[in-house]
Amino acid sequence: MRKLRAVLVIAGLWGGLWLGLGLVLGMAVTPWAAPDVVPSVVITLPILFAVWGAASGAAFALLLLTAERRGSLAAISLSRSAWLGALGSILLPVFLVLSDADQRPWGRDDWLALGIFIGSSVLLGALCASGTLAMARRTPR
pLDDT tens string 53-77: 999 999 999 999 888 777 777 778 8
Question: Which pTM does this prediction carry?
Answer: 0.82
Alpha helices, H only, 30-140:
38-67, 78-101, 108-138
CA atoms within 13 A on the CB side of 37: 10
The pLDDT tens digits of the residues spanning 92-130 come to 888 877 777 777 777 777 778 778 888 888 999 999 999
How many C-beta atoms lie closer than 10 Å to residue 91's C-beta? 18
